[in-house]
């Protein structure tokens, strides 16, 4: 995912432990939509 975003001029402004927590939250009941909301809120344009 991070590579895809970077190729498209974006990055996720979150440390690795937080990214891992987001992925693990899927197994704890979060929906893909919940994950998408988290990602969208932290997207930044790559300079």
- Model pLDDT for residues 13-37, shown as the tens digit of each residue: 999 999 999 999 999 999 999 999 9
User: How many residues does the structure list for the chain?
Assistant: 47
pLDDT band at 7 (very low <50, low <70, confident <90, very high): very high
15: DSSP letter: -
pLDDT of 47 over the 90 cut: no
pLDDT of residue 12: 96
Sign of CA pseudo-dihedral 15, 20, 25, 30: positive
Task: Specify the pLDDT at position 1.
Answer: 86
**Residue 26: which domain range?**
2-45
* Single pTM value for the model: 0.77
- Counting the structural domains of the chain, the total is 1
């Amino acid at each position: 995912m991070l590579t895809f975003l970077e190729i498209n001029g974006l990055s996720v402004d979150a440390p690795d432990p937080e990214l891992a927590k987001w992925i693990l939250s899927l197994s704890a009941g979060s929906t893909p939509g919940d994950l998408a909301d988290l990602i969208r809120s932290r997207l930044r344009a790559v300079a």
